[in-house]
Each structure stands twice: as C-alpha cells, then as structure tokens.
Amino acid sequence: LCGGRAYSILKNFYSEILKYANTTDDEKIYSIMANMLSDSPSTDLSVDTRFSGTRSNPKKKGSITDITTTNFTPQNLTRGVLNGMVEELHTMYSQMNIKKNGIVGSGNGIRKNKNLMEIVEKEFEGKNYGEFKRVVADKVCEVIGNIQNKYNEILNSKEYINLKTYP
C-alpha cells in the first residue's frame, strides 16, 4: 500500500519540473497541485498507485492507463493519482472480511488535502471528515488507554520487579 506517499511522489514529479521554474518549496507545489484541480473536476485518466506493490504481490507496479492526446495534462494526472489512492484504499476496504460500519481517515494526506477528502467522502458513501475525526479520536484514546494499562500491569508485576533487581 502506497497510501499518501502516492501524492508525495506526484509532488516530487512536479518538483522536478518546477525546479526549472525556480521553485522547490513543497507547500507551494502542493498548493499549485490543489489549485489546478479546480480545472479538472473529473478525469478518465486511470492511475494505479500501487507503486510499492501489494502485500500479496510485492512485484505489482503502478500504471497510468486510458491516456489520450487530450487527457494527458497535469490536472488529469493529479486527479488520477488522487482517484487511484482512494481506489486502492477502497479495494482493501472491500476485501476486509469483517463487519464494517464506516471508515477512518487519518494523516496529512487527507487532513491537508480538501480534494482527496472529497473523493474519499464520495467513494465511501458520503462519510464526512468530522465523523472520521471523532472515530479516530475515540480509537486513539482506546489504544493509548490499552497501552497505558499494559504498561502499568508490566511495571507493577513481580516478574518486572525481579528483572529490575536481578539483571
């Protein structure tokens, strides 16, 4: 799973181009990428963002398909990478063999990217980011609580005290 790194790879692609235009500032490049998407509300350019393979097939490579003389533009490539990121996540989500009642999005990739957030919301049946944040916060608190409990259990155990006393 390449996840948010796929968008970073695209940013690096644009960095290579824009260094010839005298800018390599990451924030500026991400801003340019976000702004160009207003000119491309959708695309038929397909980008498979499995640049790092998959768990079941580490040799799998990403690809760009359905390229035409009219759709191979920076706007469509950017939109295609975002769509590919969400499609990759949706495929994994669909294959999970557990009961699902929502999705949680975390990380800067979704937090800082309004366009990605909109694609995720659409793909995952309109779950909004506020709901994502609430679920993430609940899960983080639960995990941290479990870690704290285990830490206290180990710290107060007779075995730990013996290990501390007798190296």
Mean pLDDT of the 2-17 span: 79
Tell me which residue of 113, 116, 40 sits closest to 84, measured CA to CA.
116
Is the pTM higher than 0.75? The answer reads no
Q: Is the pLDDT of residue 66 over 90?
A: yes
Q: Is the pLDDT of residue 137 over 70?
A: no
Q: What's the pLDDT score for residue 46?
A: 93
Query: What's the 3-state SS for the chain?
Result: CCCCHHHHHHHHHHHHHHHHHCCCCHHHHHHHHHHHHHHCCCCCCEEECCCCCCCCCCCCCCEEECCCCCCCCHHHHHHHHHHHHHHHHHHHHHHCCCCCCCCCCCCHHHHCCHHHHHHHHHHCCCCCHHHHHHHHHHHHHHHHHHHHHHHHHHHCCHHHHHHHHCC
Tens digit of each residue's pLDDT (9 = 90 or more) over 17-58: 777 677 778 888 888 888 888 877 888 999 999 888 888 888
Tens digit of each residue's pLDDT (9 = 90 or more) over 67-76: 887 888 888 8
